[in-house]
Chain A
Amino acid sequence: MSEILIKNGHVFDVVSGVKGDAKDIAIKDGKIVDKVSSKAKTIDASGKTVMAGALDIHAHVAGPKVNLGRWFRPEDKWYRGQMRGGIVKETSRMEQGFSIPSVFRTGYCYGRMGYTFVMEAAMPPLYARHVHEEIHDTPIIDEAALPVFGNNWFVMEYLKEKDIQKTAAYIAWLMRVTKGYGIKVVNPGGTEAWGWGLNCLGINDEVPYFDITPAEITTGLIEANEYLGLPHSVHIHPNSLGDPGNNPVTIDTMKLAAKYKPNNKFGREQVLHMTHLQFHSYGGSGWGDFCSASKEIMDYVNKHKEITFDTGNVTLDETTTMTADGPFEHHLCALNHLKWCNVDVELETGSGVVPFIYSPNVFPCAVQWATGLELALLAKDPMRTMITTDHPNAGPFTRYPRVFKWLMSKKTRDEQMAAFKNSGKVADATILNELDREITLYELSQMTRAAPAKALGLSSTRGGLATGMDADVAIYDIDPTKMPTDPETIEKVFLNASYLLKNGEIVISDGQIVFENPKKMTFWVNAKAPENKQVNRDIREKFLRYYTVTQANYEVPDSYAPHPFVIETEANV
């Protein structure tokens, strides 16, 4: 197979400990190697920045609610400035949509930004086939999907009995039949309560009928996760998302993890991943005295190594919110009175979709913008900090480079802060103005590469450029020895990598996509748990009596994920 030598680039890589020194990267047969022969194709990266392919730990890119967002918002396709004026399309497939791009645009745009792995953040198990069909049609990026467990009837019934073995056996079965990657929890208990139009706002609110609390669901799933030894930890969207004054609920949720230790062979050190933390870091008692509580939240996170988080940065765009937190979307619709979709899913979960405009003229939106940036700037450990926009909830993933710009340049933050309609009030409700920190390229490589790879249990092959790792490499036209004076350059550069290599194949060359369909894989976890006959019987019973599909038709056939990368785990019995 082919050999490639990336010469003289400024390499930023945590795994091999390189912080911007000029270095050659050699690639052979899809892997990083020590050296290659003289026949290797060379890429001149002098004056450029070289990083591993980036990983997105949390984005809604494939599945029923994503697609509902696409089709019920034809107006989202009006943003197509780049398609006007006779510009010839770069790729063979059309690229459609802004906040919820088509599968083709999703793959191409992630590739352009130097991303090679994306985690679909919430897969309703009954709709797993849909998620995998979309993943199959998405070019360039490797993907995986997290099935949701926080409102699942089996899980709630077993955890009411405090039976971790049965919970784990069920989780192992479900991850296998849906080809899922880990345990996602969304508003534990609250979405089941929404089946009756109710919600769980605190961790000790009782779930109707099931006689269990969000706290018990969360701790039970953490125990089951560590019992199974999964590569990723429990990945939680806690209760009370988006509510003013929700920070105590967030801290209560994080405290649940304090007594647990990670137990896995993948180098993962956290037991709980707090996702889109921005939405859970608010003070105040209503929208009038709404304020950032990032300091309280990060004081806790910084001291607790068992927690990782991603930011969920608001990007001040018109976007489409979508979550398995059904009651939240109903609540949001009551705030903005735009169109509201809801899908409750039998025995498992629910979801909602509502368009939203994060207007710089609206006070709470501006506070949300500042809160997300504060979290990343207050974080002491970049290896536990990941940058996301909870795509598309706080903004589309194509705005990541803009978030990088804000994090790397205080000047652009100050400019944006001054541009808000209520800038004085926003400044009073946030602490962003006091934070002088500017994220370095090395820290950026941690937050977008090494940290998500480690949190997902993929650090042996992904997120770094050490010998033996997968040859996913992004090269950006930015010279760390001569950082651009205009911060806008940062956004431009990270929006379109000069080169992207995926498994050692050149996908982008000179900023143009030259190879649209490199090998892409679907990652899923085959967790081995001791067989539990009672669980097998319960599954059979539930399908006979309550599901509307038969058990034989529930499983995702192999043909839906024709290029799997299966990670096998053994339970810690």
Chain B
Amino acid sequence: MTKVVTDVVCPFCGTLCDDLAITVSDDGKQIIDCQNACAIGAEKFLHTSAGHGRITRPRKRQPDGSYKEITYDEAIEYTAQMLAKAKKTLWYGWASTSCEAMAVGHKVAEKAGTMVDNCATVCHGSSLLAIQDVGVPSCTLGEVKNRADRVVFWGCNPAHAHPRHMSRYSIFPRGFFTTKGHKGRKIIVVDCRYTDTAKCADEFIQIDQSYDYEVLDAFRTVARGHDIPDVVGGVPKEKIIKAVETLKEGRFGVIFFGMGLTHTLGRNHNIDIAINLTRDLNDFTKFSIVAMRGHWNVTGSGQVLSWQYGFPYCVDLTRRTHARYQPGDTSSVDLLRRKEVDACICIASDIGAHFPIEATRHMAQIPSVCIDPHINLTTEISDVHIPVALVGVEVAGCAYRMDNVPMACRKVVDPPEGMLTDEELLEKVYVRLCEIMGDS
């Protein structure tokens, strides 16, 4: 008899849907079916049983470029020795593992004195910088579901990136004060492309690429009752005035934004002015703004780093007495491009897939370890690849949703025989590192 595990949290994107029902084989080893998830989430569960690209023991790169299987003990020894010897190790990633594993990893990092950075560095880091400058009026996603009658998507495309966001939280759900669901909401999409999300919009505002700052500035200017030029960033004046009127007339509004705002010209300044537009709109009605965080637990990495060291990313623990934070100086891409680090650990993320080529090239030239359940672009340029159990599928753990709500992810099936979890692996590295370095 198969059994069904309910209320499963999906470890794919920052939406963290928690209503998945997973059918598991009799022996608890195979996933047979996955209900309620989007196509991407379902694949995250179903592929484990299909065995695609899954290896179960660490591998070490040989001089000829091929990989040879080694034991976990050998991999732990390599990692601990590398950490002990390196002057400055970059430890990047964390976004696809649990907060419990992060806490252990930071203990190791602090002992060894490494740099610690997460995926925000190539993602919503600019949002974090803007929030450190101007704050952020925000809310949980349930507030959007229960109250929002004005929803703006700016530079984001949840139809592809966060597939169930629109049905669970932002466009379609009927909530306490929003009994009409979609019909009771005015949806505005601002983008330089006509996206699939834009197809759901009451109003689509197509702007010239990288003119976000100018258009947001025009929104603020109009909201404050001043005149604007006839066309701003490719958008006619009348269209902007109409949109601002729509926002002001709402009872509760929210702006969701994504990479289209964080990584176009202006970067953190775009987020800064979007937040300031939100602040301005609070003089007329209630407004919030929420970042569409990508990786399912990138938010959690920021949280754990913050309660332990006070900074959400780009944390420099190399001074050993206190932590430093200076994005641009302590950020992963810059450290690699300047060839400032002499060792690298990539955990639960993928440098090879996301970093600029010069940064990736330096990573390939220094001693490196990749801790990841799968073969990915980074594992193929690392000296050692340590596979681990898949968090949220094969091991439980805490993750933070894009609105910072913590979710307890579940274990659905057993990991392959003898595989370590991130937490177990890092604890063993810590013990070995303490032996090598002494208690100093």
Contact = CB atoms under 8 A, between A and B. Distances in A.
A515 B279 CA distance: 47
A133 B135 CA distance: 24
Interface string A495-518: 000000000000000000000000
A70 B307 contact: yes
Contact of B139 (A62, A67, A343, A353): A343
B105 to A, nearest CB: 13
B185 interface: no
B41 to A, nearest CB: 16
Given A102-B309, A196-B251, A550-B18, A96 B322 contact: yes
Given A71-B310, A133-B99, A341 B18 contact: no
A374 interface: no
Contacts of A93: 110, 308
A104 B305 CA distance: 12
A72 B132 contact: yes
A353 B135 contact: yes
A342 B307 contact: no
A553 B7 contact: yes
A391 B169 CA distance: 34
A479 B39 CA distance: 71
Contacts of B169: 548
Nearest to A68: B404
A456 interface: no
Interface stretch (A73-81, A281-289, A524-532): A73-81
17 contacts: A71-B306, A89-B320, A93-B110, A94-B309, A96-B310, A97-B310, A104-B308, A133-B99, A133-B406, A137-B103, A195-B252, A209-B177, A345-B139, A346-B139, A546-B175, A546-B176, A550-B7
B134 interface: yes
Interface of B: 6-7, 9, 18-19, 99, 103, 110, 128, 131-143, 145-147, 168-169, 174-177, 251-252, 279, 282, 285-286, 288, 302-312, 317, 320-323, 325, 398, 400, 404-408
Interface string A475-492: 000000000000000000
Contacts of A67: 303, 306-307
B141 A548 contact: yes
B408 A71 contact: no
Interface in A523-573: 545-550, 552-553, 557, 560
A458 B282 CA distance: 44
B286 A195 contact: yes
Interface stretch (A123-131, A140-148, A461-469): A123-131
Contact of B132 (A74, A130, A547): A74
A553 B317 contact: no
Interface in A74-102: 74, 76-77, 80, 83, 87-89, 93-97, 100, 102
A72 B135 contact: yes
B401 to A, nearest CB: 8
Nearest to A89: B321
A341 B146 contact: no
Q: How large is the interface on A (under 10, 10 to 19, 20 to 34, 35 or more residues)?
A: 35 or more
Best-surrounded residue of A96, A350, A545 (most CB of chain B within 10 A): A96
A343 B289 CA distance: 10
B143 A345 contact: yes
A552 B19 CA distance: 10
A459 to B, nearest CB: 31
Given A64-B404, A71-B306, A77-B323, A343 B18 contact: no
| Chain A interface mostly | mixed
Contacts of B132: 71-74, 339
A77 B320 CA distance: 15
A64 B302 CA distance: 12
B140 A346 contact: yes
B311 A74 contact: yes
A103 interface: yes
Contact of A344 (B139, B307, B406): B139
A493 to B, nearest CB: 26
Contacts of A548: 140-142, 145, 168-169, 405
A93 B106 CA distance: 10
B113 to A, nearest CB: 11
B9 A553 contact: yes
A212 interface: no
Nearest to A85: B321
B307 A94 contact: no
A347 B28 CA distance: 37
A545 B146 CA distance: 9
Interface in A263-302: none
Nearest to B137: A342
Contacts of B323: 77, 94, 96
Contacts of B305: 71
A197 B140 CA distance: 16
Given A68-B404, A72-B136, A342-B137, 15 more contacts: A70-B310, A71-B132, A83-B321, A89-B321, A100-B310, A102-B308, A102-B309, A127-B406, A341-B137, A346-B146, A350-B139, A547-B142, A553-B18, A553-B407, A557-B408
Contacts of A549: 18, 405, 407
